[in-house]
């Protein structure tokens, strides 16, 4: 069985798009404890300025190390392993918002390849069609693969994220992702030991948008076939968002035919 016992991508009040006073480490831990989780990672939006310049004027302005560390040390999770992580960013110039010397600060590093609603900062404006966006996704994954990273604690976020084409045909983007190159990239992540994220907020939003289940699952089937391991994520910005993991994760896991062999686990501290 693929255990529904973790949430490795959620946001605290420290993320600007949360800014919810209820989204405290204590409240998040209480949810994890109540649901018998083995692990939960807090992954606030992060750009490592001033070590890595480039976030000025973006949604990550002011989201440096000091900011995301404001709630440290985290409470003792007891049976729940609480992990201080981050969701960093990859710019359109292919700069990762995490300095190598600061990787040790984080127990889990989530890399989102497809925040394409950020025109300019993440997506070059000329990459506008579904085909161009699909190509952009693959080439950005290839860029990430070429980086020197502590791979065993890296997660590749929300490959079917609606932000890839917020005002267009997301299903067309997902269908246009070139299979061969995508499979090669997934095999690379599998070999490196990275985790591939099953983002419940994305699956839920896709369903509401009318994206077909096959389109929503397409890239993950390739990833599974190439030997990837997966982790569950709510991507919650508010308490209600946490419910998505116990709510719908088992459906997704069943649809992908995942079992215990497919579970990504964080390395021991």
Cβ closer to Zn ion: 122 or 145?
122
Q: Which residues bind Zn ion (CB under 5 A)?
A: 87, 112, 235
Q: Which is closer to Zn ion, CB of 70 or CB of 225?
A: 70
| Smallest distance, Zn ion to C-beta of residue 184, A | 24
Question: For residue 156, which of 125, 116, 114 has the smallest C-alpha distance?
Answer: 114
Residue found under tokens 């529904």? 4
Using DSSP's 3-state secondary structure scheme, residue 26 falls into helix
CB of 233 to Zn ion, least distance (A): 8
Q: Which of residues 58 and 183 has its CB atom nearest to Zn ion in the complex?
A: 58
Q: Each residue of 116-144: b (16+ CB within 10 Å) or e? A: bbbeebbbeeebeebebbbbbbbebbeeb
232 forms beta bridges with: 198
CB of 44 to Zn ion, least distance (A): 8
Residues 6+ apart with CB under 8 A from 200: 232, 233, 234, 235, 244, 245, 247, 248, 249, 252
- Could you tell me the smallest distance in angstroms from the CB atom of residue 45 to Zn ion? 7
In the bound state with Zn ion, the residue whose beta carbon lies nearer, of 85 and 246, is: 85
| Closer by beta carbon to Zn ion, 37 or else 59 | 59
* Minimum CB distance to Zn ion, residue 130 (Å): 20
Q: Which residue is nearest to Zn ion (CB)?
A: 112
């Amino acid at each position: 069985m693929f255990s529904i016992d973790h949430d490795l991508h959620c946001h605290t009040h420290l993320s600007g798009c949360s800014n919810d006073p209820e989204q405290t480490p204590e409240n998040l831990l209480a949810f994890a404890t109540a649901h018998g989780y083995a692990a939960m990672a807090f992954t606030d939006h992060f750009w490592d300025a001033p070590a890595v310049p480039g976030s000025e004027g973006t949604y990550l302005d002011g989201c440096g190390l000091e900011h995301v560390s404001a709630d440290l040390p985290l409470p003792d999770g007891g049976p729940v392993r609480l992990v201080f992580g981050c969701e960093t960013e990859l710019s359109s110039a292919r700069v990762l918002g995490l300095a190598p010397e600061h990787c040790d600060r984080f127990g889990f590093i989530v890399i989102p390849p497809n925040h394409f609603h950020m025109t300019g900062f993440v997506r070059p404006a000329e990459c506008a069609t579904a085909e161009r966006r699909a190509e952009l996704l693959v080439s950005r994954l290839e860029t990430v693969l070429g980086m020197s990273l502590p791979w065993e604690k890296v997660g590749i976020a929300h490959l079917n994220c609606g932000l890839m084409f917020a005002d267009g045909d997301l299903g067309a983007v997902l269908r246009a992702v070139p299979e061969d190159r995508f499979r090669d990239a997934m095999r690379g992540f599998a070999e490196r030991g990275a985790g591939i994220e099953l983002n419940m907020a994305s699956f839920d939003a896709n369903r509401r948008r009318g994206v077909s289940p096959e389109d929503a699952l397409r890239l993950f089937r390739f990833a599974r076939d190439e030997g990837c391991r997966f982790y569950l994520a709510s991507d919650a910005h508010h308490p209600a968002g946490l419910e998505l993991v116990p709510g719908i994760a088992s459906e997704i896991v069943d649809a992908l035919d995942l079992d215990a062999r497919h579970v990504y686990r964080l390395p021991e501290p």
